Amino acid sequence: MTPSLSLPHDRWVEHRQGRLFTRTWTPAPQGPARETAAAPVVLFHDSLGCVALWREFPARLSAATRRTVIAYDRLGYGQSDPRPGRLPLDFMVEEARQVFPLLQAQLGLARFVAFGHSVGGAMAVQVAARLPQACEALITEGAQAFVEDRTRQGIETARTAFQAPGQVARLAKYHGDKAQWVLDAWTGTWLHPDFAAWSLAPVLPRVTSPVLAIHGLNDEYGSARHPELIGRLVGGPAQIELLPRLGHVPHREQPDQVLALLTRFLAPGRLP
């Protein structure tokens, strides 16, 4: 029987620079109440992403794992307020230090599972490293762990493609008049010469929760070296899943395959 999908609930989180949009999916009641008592999964979106671009995946993840799933738009993205100025090069650390604690406090997240896609995976690593007692597990998907030539080449190709008429307008469907800022924040940060030495290597040993690192072998923004580095350097148990024929967004390309991996990893009794 296919699990019933839940209707999302929206709310705002207050930040000193503006409001952050959040959306929560809670699984429909089914059996004992303890089934839904597990730590919620918090989704961290990619460089051009937002809550809406997760599409139906959060609802399906909630139904499959019997966990609450929470997604939010970072400041400057989606329905959240605009972010003034340029994105700082240490924006991932800033998200873990200054923003996620607000989500914890205002959404009541005593414990959570951090799940990040692409740069959201690097943010999830930062959060897991800073909050080892609260983070029940870490999941990365297509995450970058350092600046690889393939990463820069993929972004250069995308930047050229976005110069075509109508391409920025496609982003505006999700980010409104913030679309150009979102694009510039992505390309301007990752292609900045001062960002070339960035790496998660110093942070990963502080991650002590169980880790699942998912990566498509045809990912245009990073090779298998990224999940391999994550798995080798984290301080807790790690499971690496390299998916043949898949690119940068496995949860969109093969959602059933990804959901099966996540359901097994998050199954009752599997996590501490």
8 Å CB contact between 238 and 139: no
3-state class (DSSP) for residue 74: coil
Which pLDDT value is given to residue 270? 80
Assign residue 116 the CATH number of its domain. Answer: 3.40.50.1820
Which pLDDT value is given to residue 178? 97
Confirm whether 161 is domain-assigned. no
Confirm whether 96 is domain-assigned. yes
Which pLDDT value is given to residue 1? 46
Which pLDDT value is given to residue 28? 80
Sign, Cα dihedral of 228, 230, 232, 236: negative
Between CA 5 and CA 99 the distance in angstroms is 29
Residue 251 domain boundaries: 9-146+200-265
Between CA 72 and CA 79 the distance in angstroms is 9
The burial of 26, by beta-carbon neighbours within 10 Å (0-12 exposed, 13-18 middle, 19 or more buried), is given as middle
Name 121's Cβ contacts closer than 8 Å, sequence gap at least 6: 44, 140, 141, 142, 143, 144
Confirm whether 192 is domain-assigned. no
Confirm whether 191 is domain-assigned. no
3-state class (DSSP) for residue 214: strand
Between CA 134 and CA 118 the distance in angstroms is 22
Q: Residue written as tokens 């499971």?
A: 239
pTM reported for the whole predicted model: 0.95
Which residues on neighbouring strands pair with residue 11, listed in sequence order?
A: 22
252-272 confidence digits (pLDDT tens): 999 999 999 999 999 987 877
Which pLDDT value is given to residue 31? 59
**Stretch 103-122: mean pLDDT:** 97
Residues in the chain: 272
Confirm whether 183 is domain-assigned. no
Helix (H) or strand (E) holding 95: none
Confirm whether 158 is domain-assigned. no
Q: How many domains does the chain have?
A: 1
